[in-house]
Structure 1
Amino acid sequence: MSLPLLAELPATFTALVSRNAQSFRAAVALQPELTVEDWSADRWAQFARVAAASDFVLEQVVRDPAMLVDLAASGELDRAFAPGELCTQIAAAAQAAESEDELARNLRRQRSRQQVRIIWRDLTRQADLVQTCRDLSDLADASIDQAYNWLYPRHCQQFGTPIGHRSGQPQHMVVLGMGKLGAVELNLSSDIDLIFAFPEGGETEGVKRSLDNQEFFTRLGQRLIKALDPITVDGFVFRVDMRLRPYGSAGALVLSFNALEQYYQDQGRDWERYAMIKARVVAGDQVAGAQLLDLLRPFVYRRYLDFSAIEALRTMKQLIQQEVRRKGMAENIKLGAGGIREVEFIAQAFQLIHGGRDLSLQQRPLLKVLSTLEGQGYLPSAVIAELREGYEFLRYTEHAIQAIADRQTQMLPDAELDRARIAFMLGFADWPSFHAQLMHWRGRIDWHFRQVIADPDEDENEEGEVIVGGEWLPLWEEAQNEEAACRQLQDAGFADPQKALKQLAGLRVSPQLRAMQRLGRERLDAFIPRLLAQAVEHADPDLVLERVLPLVEAVARRSAYLVLLTENPGALRRLLTLCAASPWIAEQITRFPLLLDELLNEGRLFSPPQAPELAAELRERLTRIPEDDLEQQMEALRHFKLAHSLRVAASEIAGNLPLMKVSDYLTWLAEAILNQVLALAWRQTVSRHGQPKRSDGSLCDPGFIIVGYGKVGGIELGHGSDLDLVFIHDGDPQADTDGAKPIDSAQFFTRLGQRIIHLLTTQTNSGQLYDVDMRLRPSGASGLLVSSLGAFERYQQNEAWTWEHQALVRARVLVGCPQVGAAFEAVRARILGQARDLPKLQAEVSEMRAKMRDNLGTKLSAAGTAANAFDAGVPFDIKQDAGGIVDIEFMVQYAALAWSHDHPALLRWTDNIRILEELEQAGLMPASDAVLLREVYKAFRSAAHRQALQKQAGVIDAEQFVQERQEVRRIWSQLGLS
């Protein structure tokens, strides 16, 4: 957001500007070496604008006109500083000091100079909000750090060098900047919130009387504050506020890292978590400071979804509102309704709730957090746009208020002149038009704030607060007898009220609930009435309760999840709908409650991303995790898979995704995960052994592909499908890798394959990624885990059975080296495109199919071939019985093997639907038969998907799909198969 400049100076300021210009010219005249006669009309126009708005700037330049003349002559008023330039100026001023008094004086004069420059550029709109805040924060960083660097060696000279007891190394202080300083968002007259720390205890060395490190750094901290805070004839540098430290004003001024960690772990309060979001090392030992922030990160960002943060922020806001009312601060644009603090609360609510898991939210600057909330889908773009624009308007207003007299205030002024100044600085002709715009933005911010932070029990009707589901509270708390409770359940729509009551009683006495602490029990008591109130809105509340109560029991000890559902009625509604529709989903969420996070955003839940977005999202998640943190990488991969699998299932249930799209999404998900798993495994294996080589001596990078067979190869993955994989490389098996611990390439690729399987199949807290089946590799379970491309071709050419060539029809490169992938496709085409003896092929395909039916089909109906195969009550295995899915797959595979020699287009695809389309296009199958097989195949797969979501085997009543099965068998026979 950029603010307009009024084309002309309002007449209101004519006399004021004239007086101020005269005062400045008079001050210049007292110093003959100065001149402003060469100033341009534009420069004087800027002066008029600043002189109209800021008494502070006018006071500074009248007192020291040389400062402004120099700023103008140097061009510093007209350009942004290069990185480090401001720090260089502050450092020069500090290093020139011979005493602490001179240090204080030099820093104050530098502050006045920079403050004039920053306000000038802000008021003339040569700097936008972000630039102004950055300049102010850089000024604070440099002032603190240079003061510290000046004081530390002199302090050591006086009291000795502090040495760590454990490390034996010299110790430095770490200065954390909190609040707006930490977020690089300082305003024009901000104080600075600091916390002082030092790495470890010990004593000083090098003097006769040593000091304890704590005492050393306490005295140093006091000297640092003295250099910055007191008001002298030269003003001040920054007002220093130390009240955010542990125990506030009553606590020690400086604490060791251990003491800080212990405090926040044992006694840290919710508001301290909120404050610590923006903590940043602004001075002292940057390396140790980064270690300190890593130590404190678990206190700020919990690894689970932490909806208890909402209640804490709500309580803080209520306390602020009480203070605002008590002190009559409704006109405070920071703390009042719709003020700056409410935008900060909105952003930080999402950070505290989700930041432990979504590392992209672990940021300090508010505008960047808002962008992340938009990009990650936490809030709609329209909401973010209003919050951003409203926040920037408020911050510009804050700067205007403070620019007048360099006072730390966010109160709208009463004086007419100051009101006119603020309207002028914000680009408005008068106060009423400015105030109307201000109230518009405050109203919009307050509305959005209420949507995020407001108590869900608040009802703004005249009856006051109403507890949602309150009519169910007596039943849950056993405040009524069994007969009355059953009658209430029956009247609400429960078919078996006694069973429902028994289930609730079982939950009440479960070991998990008995072990709950008071706070957790209070959260459960708030949640259950809401659950019952929403359950009775469903057609089958008995089923809803049966499927959701195991989840409640599973998360009872982690009651933040209950708060999530209590705070978000929409998420609870979606949970009940999905659990009612699918026990598979109910079980997934019960096993992995972190999936509840996905229910918060309805748009995201029912709109899974396309393949490129999937890959980009996973890549972005993993780039935020340290490369050596394998545990967190594996958890991130698993959570990603769980979350997106749930989205696909939810979209399928909602009717947003047809069958083919469901398989597409699940396959894209697997490919995105495999791509990252291969990258992780490659990096880990190369770090140990170096890179393998090809036969021409070039390095493999990676020279490796993962080939998918079966469902993943045919882009037909379903819910819970395993992955049929084959690993292939093009390295020289005899050549060694180029690392410190070299091994031959064959060993390298075997270890790479083992690493990939380990990453995919290891059980963690979030389960495993996929079951992996490697039996389709050359020679099956007895063969090498990873084959060279040459060995793979030789095996396929000379040793593979017909059923292995059938499997190759559905083989597809999933991820890996493009060159090796292209070579594999060429090998596949050569193998499958061979001319074949059709009678022999028909016999071998028929024989393999008969074996499968005998072993896997329904015994009662001889795998669908007996006379009772279509009778009611007889089971039909959708996949294995005659006329089912495998018959269609075998026909497609037979056709590809039989005719691809003359029709290579049959090898273009690996999925059954498109191969059937190619058979139709080539005239190898009547169009009516090809269409029928496609539609029947999709119908069978849809039925199998529905069974999977209901956690049932792929078996249905034989009365279903009678005609379809008969038609499949007819086409089977027409192809000469038996």
Structure 2
Amino acid sequence: MLQNMKPSLIPAEQASHFYMHWMNASREKRTAKIQSLITQPLNRLNLEALLKREMDDGYPLPRAMRRLRNLLICAIIERDLSGKADLSEVVETMTRFAEFAIRTHLKTLSEELTAAHGTPIGAHSGTPQEMIILGMGKLGGGELNVSSDIDLIFVYPENGETKTTEPGQRPLSNQEFFTRLGKRFIKALSEITEDGFTFRVDMALRPNGESGPLVASTNMVEQYLIVQGREWERYAWIKARPITGNPDDIRALQEIVHPFIYRRYLDFSVIDAIRNLHQQIRADVIRQEKLHPERSNNVKLGRGGIREIEFLAQMFQLIRGGREPALQDKSTRNILHILVEKRQLDDDIANALLDSYTFLRNLEHRIQYLDDAQTHSLPANENELLLIANSMGMETTSELLDELKKHRSFVSSQFDEIFSDKSSKEDNSKPVIPQPLLSSQSEDEQIHSIQTKLESFGFAEADNAARRLLSFWKTNRIQSLSDSTRTRLVTFINTTLPELLKSSHAPVVTLGRLLDFLESISRRTAYLSLLTEFPAATQRLIRMLDASEWAARYLTRHPILLDELLDARTLLAPPDWPSFTAELEQQLELQRGDTELMMDTLREAHHAQLFRFLAQDLAGGLTVERLADHLSRLADIIVETALKEVWLAMPKRHRDIPRFAVIAYGKLGGKELGYASDLDLIFLYDDDHPDAPMLYARLAQRFITWMTSSTSAGILFDIDIALRPDGASGLMVSSIDSFERYQAESAWAWEHQALTRARFCAGDENIGKRFEALRDRILRQPRDRQWLRQEILKMREKIHESHPNRSTLFDLKHDAGGMIDIEFIVQYLVLEYSREYPELTDNFGNIALLKMSEKLNLIPEEAGEKVSAIYRQFRKRQHEIRMQGADQAKVEPDEVTDQVNEVKKLWNLVLLHPSNEAD
């Protein structure tokens, strides 16, 4: 819960020398002005009307703006100290006023300069040019201090020169025009006069800093950021917000700046860059405090101060902002809230940080209220310190200092938890792996050296592990890395081996998987940074690599999923499907127009959620059935979302929502999807528009392309549409009417078999309802029992012939007595008995349908329980084998003899010897 600010114990005149001097100059008149303002929130004031009032009193614009500024500052002091204004009102009022002053002065000065020199015109575009003023720092973030300077960058769109239209106008180059404009603008705001100043202006953040030109063209900004832009400038440009300029020019500039700030991948290397920047700032603060002891206790730049909270927020922005558009917000306070929504920060941590941020900013304001000075340090004078304490609602300075210490201690602890240098805690003993390029040892000597070290760790098979390590180190990819990156790899492997040995059931196998993974990420230092910065993620990585060959391959193909290992709570949390869907749709909405990015987003969202299931599966938290339910639901959402986006991107569509549906067959239809299952789909439509067949065929084709194309993020699913009417020779899409006719008049028995595991998946719900009703009718239609058995037996024989088992092992899926036989038994029972027992048409899955058949006396007592348990066992065993990387699930025959005999017994009873069936 955020703290409420206590009202000041002393009046504004006592808490602020500035306020007192301002009031004393004309007490009666200024008291009336103050009272007219402070009855309402100041961030809602009509600034134009207030400025006009000053100018109507005869003051020119620069002086009128300064007088308005002084009035606003004093009104803020009055409302803030009395408890009527909160932090939001204070910083929003100052931000609004700064924007108003910038726009007003720029408009006036631009008109004056244009009258003298003509209108600047772009040489390339031939259009009039306007200066873009970017607000940086707290102005850009909408959180400006009461006595802050404003950090600005001036940009103009393109080179050219002014176009003169009046006699006496002297043309200038655009560079010269906007440079003159910038200088006059800075003077108008910052020159100190009898009324003070409007804002101090700091231009140090512009390209090349103080040594660079005052005003830069868009092209110059682009070249600078590409060639010279540094990590700390990424941090600074996060806050960049255009205050003036033509919208098209602003958009063009943002397209340049955005990829410089935000990476499309998760950029954990930024942690080290921010750590170094923080250390430089701290070193400078310490130097200044030694030179000026009276400036110690800096609430902005000191330990646990405002800047550390800003660094925490912006660290998440730089790491994730390219993939999470919501994190591109400019406000520190907003970012802390968003981090909770994105599950990157605990709610209590974020609230405590906001609490500390509010306290520190309020304290900073009270320090600045004292003399309207741009300072962030508590006063050394005891009397002034007491004024600060009283203005914070505290009786004594010790109470203030204790409260300040509490907040700074919390902030610094949170900062250190993320930004402490993890490498300093690592084992710096001699690396296991030598660097062959620098080594004079022979290969055998190097292997022996590594083997000796591994044996000291307790490695069995140390010789094999040593050879694997040396082989890894000598690959071209590793040897082509920079010395610093290779050194980081050495350090990482050296510190990881003890954890691997402790956690692994097969250390040499797991080591090989780890090295394959490290080789795949070796050129993306951000991933190595993640593992270095978050040791807990490394531990989870080792456990996953140890548990599953399939998981190791999957993570090696999609290393971006390392991010999922950071937080065990998120990794192991049950799916929140409404939130997942809403967040995915929100991301895609922001990316419309960039097909490749949208396809990547779909893939990354699918991979991330699948990876969470994988982690839960390997941890023993999911049954095979529950996993299949989750994977099927995930596939449904992806299919629905992709279909929607493909339709929105279709040209010449005749309706907003397509009358088109996706029907799932096979494993997705039966909600038995596995990690690597393909999707068996058919497409139906119900639309009498003359272009509908062609349009929906294109929709289906583009949908398949979206699902199956290999992008930088991989693929989503393989799609099989062979189950459509007339198979490979049939149309890609069918009208629901023609599909009904086909199923009723022309479909083969095996197509009705397939219907037993079919369901509406995505698209038009009315078509979905028609399909479900049709499915129910088809499954319940009367059939000749003997004919049906023969058809199913023929289909079973075809499948057996297409999957010959040439090994001595038992194929859990395809061999007689395996999973296919169980599925065929269920399909026969559904097709034969649904007319009499309609509940069999419900798509409950094979296990439930076997149990139901037993209760309906369609199979002998206990047969349903026994065979359904066997089916569950086989699926689990198949899953475990495939998780170790095998394409086919085969076991020693004697391991499953009893189960196979039980399945064959039921097969013979149901499909070969009907006279023995239960009545």
Task: Look up the SS of the partner of 2:243 in the other structure.
Answer: strand
Shift of 1:118: 2.3
Q: Give the drift of 1:81.
A: 5.3
Match in the other structure for 2:722: 775
Superposed CA deviations along residues 435-472 of structure 1, whole A, max 9, x for unmatched, are: 2222111111111101111100334xxxxxxx335342
Retained in 1: the 8 A contact 2:116–2:170? Answer: no
Mapped pair 1:261 → 2:222: yes
Contact 1:3–1:426, Cα closer than 8 Å, also in 2 = no
- Give 1:240's match in structure 2, choosing from 201, 220, 229: 201
Give the AA of the match of 1:827: L
Partner deviation per Cα, 1:739-789 (whole Å, 9 max, x = no partner):
xxxxx1111111111111111011111111110000111111111111111
Identify if the C-alpha distance between structure 1 residues 474 and 509 changes in structure 2 by more than 3 Å, giving closer, same or farther. closer
Q: Is the 8 A contact 2:43 2:92 kept in 1?
A: no
Q: Of the candidates 464, 476, 485, which is equivalent to residue 499 of structure 1?
A: 464
Q: For 2:326 and 2:625, how far apart are their aligned partners in 1?
A: 33
Deviations 1:544-577 (A, max 9, x none): 2211212222222222222221222111221121
Q: 2:492 aligns with which of 527, 541, 544?
A: 527
Rounded to whole Å, the distance in 2 between the matches of 1:92 and 1:711 is 72
Q: What is the correspondence of 1:286-365 to structure 2 with a 5 Å cutoff?
A: 286-328=247-289, 330-365=296-331
**Aligned: 1:453 with 2:419:** yes
- C-alpha contact 1:663 1:717 (8 A) present in aligned 2: yes
Other structure's SS at 2:297 match: coil
Kept in 2: contact 1:90–1:142 (CA 8 A) = no
Q: Compared with structure 1, are the counterparts of its residues 2 and 381 closer, same or farther at alpha carbon in structure 2 (3 Å cutoff)?
A: closer
* Bigger mean CA deviation after superposition, 920-929 or 107-116: 920-929
| 1:793 matched residue in structure 2 | 740
Whole-angstrom distance in 1 between the partners of 2:54 and 2:247 = 20
Deviation of 1:123 after TM superposition, in Å, equals 1.9
> Is residue 2:396 matched to residue 1:430?
yes
Q: Please give the residue correspondences for 1:424-823 in structure 2 after superposition, counting only pairs within 5 Å.
A: 424-459=390-425, 467-468=426-427, 470-472=429-431, 475=434, 481-482=445-446, 483-537=448-502, 538-625=504-591, 627-685=592-650, 688-691=651-654, 701-732=657-688, 735-736=689-690, 744-823=691-770
User: Structure 1 stretches of 5 or more lacking a match?
Assistant: 14-48, 460-466, 692-698, 737-743, 861-873
Shift of 1:654: 1.0
Q: Tell me the secondary structure at the aligned position of residue 327 of structure 1.
A: helix
Measured in 2, the distance between the counterparts of 1:659 and 1:325 equals 59
Q: What is the TM-score when the length of structure 1 is the normalising length?
A: 0.88
- Tell me which residue corresponds to 1:43: none
Query: Which of 117, 132, 135 is 1:159 aligned to?
Result: 117
The question of whether the paired residues in 1 share the 8 Å contact of 2:94 and 2:146 is answered with: yes
Residue matched to 1:61: 23
Unaligned runs of 5+ in 2: 290-294, 914-919
Worse overlay, 342-351 or 218-227: 342-351
Instruction: Select 1:839's aligned residue among 786, 806, 810.
Output: 786
Match of 1:22 in 2: none
Distance 1:908 1:550, change over 3 A: same
| Range moving further from structure 2, 674-683 or 372-381 | 372-381
Q: 1:592 & 1:524 partners in 2: Cα distance?
A: 19
Residue 969 of structure 1 corresponds to 904
Q: CA deviation at 1:6?
A: 5.6
The correspondence for 2:365, drawn from 388, 399, 410, is 399
2:292 corresponds to which residue?
A: none
> How far apart, in 2, do the equivalents of 1:801 and 1:3 lie?
72
Decide whether the 8 Å contact of 1:524 with 1:559 is kept in 2: no
Secondary structure of 2:244's partner?
strand
Q: Please report how far the alpha carbon of residue 5 of structure 1 lies from its aligned counterpart in structure 2 after TM superposition.
A: 6.4
Partner of 1:828 in structure 2? 775
Q: What amino acid does structure 1 have at the position aligned with 2:15? A: A
- Are the counterparts in 1 of residues 680 and 721 from structure 2 also a CA contact under 8 Å? yes
Q: Deviations over 1:103-147 (max 9, x none)?
A: 210111111122222222222222221222111111111111111
Aligned to 1:27: none
In the other structure, the counterpart of 1:890 is 824
SS at match of 2:894: coil
What residue number does 1:109 align with? 67
Aligned match of 1:939 in 873, 882, 888? 873
Does the 8 A contact of 1:753 with 1:786 survive in 2? yes
Amino acid at match of 2:630: Y
SS of residue in 1 equivalent to 2:422? coil
Tell whether the 8 Å contact from 1:174 to 1:286 is kept in structure 2 after alignment: no
RMSD after superposition = 2.3
Paired amino acid for 1:797: A
Counterpart-to-counterpart distance in 2, 1:310 and 1:915: 54
Distance 1:96 1:809, change over 3 A: farther
Contact 1:196 1:221 in 2 (8 A): yes
Preserved contact between residue 43 and residue 96 of structure 2 (Cα < 8 Å): no
Q: The residue matched to 1:689 in structure 2 has which SS?
A: coil
Which stretch shows the higher mean deviation, 957-966 or 239-248?
957-966
Give deviations 1:343-388, integer Å, cap 9, x for gaps.
1111111211222222222221112211222222222223222222
Q: Relative to 1, partners in 2 of residues 1:82 and 1:547: Cα closer, same or farther, differing over 3 Å?
A: same
Q: Counterpart of 1:42?
A: none
Are residues 923 and 441 of structure 1, via their aligned partners in 2, closer, same or farther at CA, if it must alter by over 3 Å?
Answer: farther
2:346 matched to 1:380? Answer: yes
Q: For 1:662-692, what per-residue CA distance to the aligned partner results, in whole angstroms no more than 9, with x for missing partners?
A: 112211211111111111111112xx1122x
2:100 aligns with one of 123, 131, 142: 142
Report the residue type matching 2:735 in the other structure. S
Provide the rounded CA distance (Å) in 1 between the counterparts of 2:675 and 2:148. Answer: 55
Q: What's the CA shift for 1:708?
A: 0.7
Quote how far apart the aligned CAs of 1:401 are.
Answer: 1.7
Q: Is the 8 Å Cα contact of residues 726 and 786 (structure 1) preserved in structure 2?
A: yes
* Partners of 1:119 and 1:188 within 8 A in 2: no
Structure-1 separation of matches of 2:837 and 2:397: 80
- The answer to whether the 8 Å contact 2:685/2:733 transfers is yes
* Per-residue deviation, 1:3: 5.0
Range that drifts further, 750-759 or 575-584: 575-584
Distance 1:67 1:219, change over 3 A: farther
Tell me what 2:890 maps to: 955
Name the CA shift for 1:969/1:336 in 2 (closer, same or farther; >3 Å).
same
How many positions carry a matched residue from both structures?
Answer: 897
Deviation at 1:256, TM superposition (A): 0.4
**8 A Cα contact 2:51 2:65, kept in partner:** no
Change (3 A) 1:2 1:579: closer
Aligned to 1:127, the other structure's residue is in SS state coil
Q: 1:708–1:811: 8 Å Cα contact kept in structure 2?
A: yes
TM (normalized to structure 2)? 0.93
Distance 1:70 1:774, change over 3 A: farther
> Hey, what does 1:929 align to over in structure 2?
863
One-letter code aligned to 2:488: R
What is the rounded CA distance, in whole Å, between the counterparts of 1:956 and 1:3 in structure 2? 64
Counterpart of 1:174 (choices 109, 132, 150) is 132
Call closer, same or farther: CA 1:935–1:71 in 2, change over 3 Å: farther
Is 1:67–1:113's contact at 8 Å kept on the other side of the alignment? no
Query: How far apart are residue 638 of structure 1 and its match?
Result: 1.1
User: Whole-Å Cα distance in 2 between the matches of residues 65 and 926 of structure 1?
Assistant: 101
Flag the 1:116–1:157 CA change in 2: closer, same or farther, 3 A: same
In structure 2, how many angstroms separate the alpha carbons of the residues matched to 1:841 and 1:227?
A: 92
Quote the offset at 1:280 in angstroms: 0.4
Q: Does 1:197 align with 2:155?
A: yes
Separation of aligned partners in 1, 2:748 and 2:670 = 20
**Offset at 1:522?**
4.2
Distance 2:390 2:780 in 1: 80
Between 1:606-615 and 1:297-306, the stretch displaced more is 606-615
1:410 aligned to which of 358, 362, 376: 376
Q: Distance in 2 between matches of 1:127 and 1:930?
A: 71
